[in-house]
Amino acid sequence: MKVYHCANARSLRVIWTAEELGLDLEVHGLQFPPRARDRAYLDVVPTGVIPAFEDGDVHLVESIAICEYLAHRHGGGALTVAADDPAWPDYLQFLHMGEATLVPPLTQMVRYRMLEPKERRLPQAVADAAEVFIDRLKPVSAKLANGDFLAGDRFTLADVSVGYALQLGAMLRLSDQYDPTVAAYHERLRERPGMIRALSRNDVPRTAGG
């Protein structure tokens, strides 16, 4: 199995999930954004979006779908929650919240703080997106007031989904705005052996042109 990965991109969710499940995963590192810095990647994914994942004939490009695929097809359902489990509604909500609600303001920050040419950067948009992200952590904090994890009493892909957003937020220097509950949760996630191993595979060496 192989994942195409850029440092700090959503492919980190896939590497983290594979590490938590003890799966063998090849990590193919690319410079970000590959659409501009590694044109050959467009032959793998025409949109140039990271991650892409291959397992034989299977080809997937959504990070949460890939995590679920790994857990169900190669992990015997570990890290997922079944529909008859009382924790299932929370599992669904936070699994999707991580990608659909928490990451979008962060990608706006990356774009308007780092990716656009200097004359197109927008400090006000960056500040507004940061505020939106911090505000959107309220349900995460409320859930964690009653337990260590987002779905039931064990680590699941819901934690991978939201945990990646917290990690990206920290990379964007927002972690000093996390409330104590969220900050402690992020720290617990960072101490997991699976996360430590995933982070050790996060960096992609710069190429001569990159």
Ligand X SMILES: N[C@@H](CCC(=O)N[C@@H](CS)C(=O)NCC(=O)O)C(=O)O
Residues that bind ligand X (CB under 6 A): 9-10, 33, 35, 48-51, 62-64, 99
**Residue positions counted in the chain:** 210
Nearer to ligand X, 35 or 188 (CB): 35
Nearer to ligand X, 92 or 183 (CB): 92
CB 38 within 8 A of CB 61: no
Q: How far is the CB of 151 from ligand X (least distance, A)?
A: 19
Mind giving me the DSSP string for 10-36?
THHHHHHHHHHHT---EEEE-PSSHHH
Classify each residue of 151-176 as buried b or exposed e, where b means 16 or more C-beta atoms within 10 Å of its C-beta.
bbeebbbbbbbbbbbbbbbbebebee
- Nearest-CA neighbor of 7 among 27, 35, 36? 27
CB 6 within 8 A of CB 204: yes
Q: How far is the CB of 99 from ligand X (least distance, A)?
A: 5
Q: How far is the CB of 139 from ligand X (least distance, A)?
A: 19
Nearer to ligand X, 102 or 195 (CB): 102
Nearer to ligand X, 62 or 179 (CB): 62
Q: How far is the CB of 118 from ligand X (least distance, A)?
A: 19
Largest CA distance in the chain: 53
Q: How far is the CB of 3 from ligand X (least distance, A)?
A: 11
Nearer to ligand X, 64 or 150 (CB): 64
